């Protein structure tokens, strides 16, 4: 693919997953993993469902996992055409402490492996989603108020692993978006940005398996960061030049987003860094109040009554 300069991104922006229960989801990511809930809002398209954002102190791009908890949702089925593992970056030497912490919390699926020379701890989230903590030197500042010591706290995303039936077309797309292939390990191919926001890696895994079926525990989409609307518009035009149709820009209150289906079947989003999560809350109070999109503000009374309380 051509158009590499116009399509360059800054790394991951956020990853959005589906869940089956808001209370368990919130408890896991804030209490067990020690992330900060930086925004409590609702799904633009289904306002009776929370949209919860977890990240570093202010939800910087490259640190934010977001979740749509559909109460009682059936679990998804793993397969191809999906984000298979979402990995977070943690300080070097911290995995033994993390393994002990997760074991004490009863987190299932714990295993340690090495990938591309990096130690990683794999585990399952509350809906069976596959997550990992990866040791690496990372200068990003962690959230210090989540009950996890700064010496081991999550810094942000490390990478996502896309599981695909044919990685070739997605590899070409990533290269057009500014990534370069930096390693291979059997069925895995690693792609990295030379300059990024700290979350600059995408791994592609080729497997022979049935297509994934989305449900609780599935990643709904993965978002890549661009600095502003101008960069987003340029990238959208570059995608069109390559035959990939993206949506018009959509105002998501905390960023503007465009969406398109990648060649491997994974839903990609391109999100702007601005305006960020402090646009409607002071930094010291992020995530505390229910924030509603303008079009749903008239539903506040019903939503505050019907949405399950997140905190004790």
CA distance 103 to 99: 6
Q: How far apart are CA 106 and CA 101, in angstroms?
A: 9
Pull the structure tokens for residue 258: 């465009």
> Side-chain half-sphere of 145: how many Cα atoms within 13 Å?
12
Residue 1 neighbours by CB under 8 Å, 6+ apart: 172, 173, 175, 176, 242
pLDDT at 6: 58
Contacts of 6 (CB under 8 A, 6+ apart): 234, 235, 237, 238
What is the model's pTM?
0.97
- 201-206 and 156-164 as β-strands: parallel, antiparallel, unpaired? parallel
**For each successive 10 residues of the chain (312 residues), what is the average pLDDT?**
64 98 98 98 97 98 98 98 98 98 98 96 98 97 95 98 98 96 96 97 97 98 98 95 95 98 97 98 98 98 97 79
Residue appearing with tokens 């570093």: 56
Determine whether 106 is exposed, middle or buried from the number of CB atoms within 10 Å of its CB (0-12, 13-18, 19+).
Answer: exposed
The helix or strand, by DSSP H or E, that contains position 264, with its residue range, turns out to be none
Nearest-10 Cα torsion for 55, 58, 62, 64: 30
> 210, 79 in Cβ contact below 8 A?
yes
């Amino acid at each position: 693919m051509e158009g590499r300069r116009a399509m360059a991104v800054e790394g991951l922006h956020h990853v959005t997953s589906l869940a089956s229960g808001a209370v368990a989801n919130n408890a896991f990511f804030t209490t067990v993993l020690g992330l900060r809930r930086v925004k409590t809002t609702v799904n633009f398209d289904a306002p009776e469902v929370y949209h919860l954002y977890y990240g570093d102190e202010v939800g910087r791009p490259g640190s934010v996992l977001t979740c749509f908890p559909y109460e009682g949702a059936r679990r998804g089925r793993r397969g191809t055409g999906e984000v298979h593992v979402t990995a977070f970056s943690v300080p070097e030497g911290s995995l033994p402490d993390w393994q002990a912490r997760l074991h004490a919390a009863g987190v299932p699926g714990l295993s340690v492996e090495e990938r591309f020379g990096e130690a990683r701890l794999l585990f399952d989230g509350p809906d069976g989603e596959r997550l990992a903590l990866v040791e690496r030197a990372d200068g990003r500042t962690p959230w210090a108020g989540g009950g996890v010591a700064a010496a081991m706290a999550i810094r942000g995303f490390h990478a996502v692993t896309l599981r695909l039936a044919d990685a070739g077309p997605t590899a070409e797309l990533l290269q057009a978006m500014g990534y370069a292939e930096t390693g291979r390990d059997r069925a895995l191919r690693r792609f990295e940005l030379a300059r990024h926001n700290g979350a600059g890696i995408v791994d592609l895994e080729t497997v022979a398996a049935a297509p994934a079926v989305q449900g609780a525990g599935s990643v709904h989409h993965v978002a890549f960061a661009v600095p502003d609307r101008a960069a987003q518009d340029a990238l959208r035009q570059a995608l069109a030049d390559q035959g990939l149709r993206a949506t018009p820009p959509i105002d998501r209150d905390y960023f503007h987003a465009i969406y398109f289906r990648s060649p491997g079947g994974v839903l990609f989003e391109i999100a702007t860094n601005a305006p960020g999560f402090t646009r409607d809350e002071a930094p010291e109070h992020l995530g505390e109040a229910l924030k509603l999109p303008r079009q749903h503000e008239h539903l506040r009374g019903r939503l505050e009554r019907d949405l399950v309380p997140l905190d004790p």
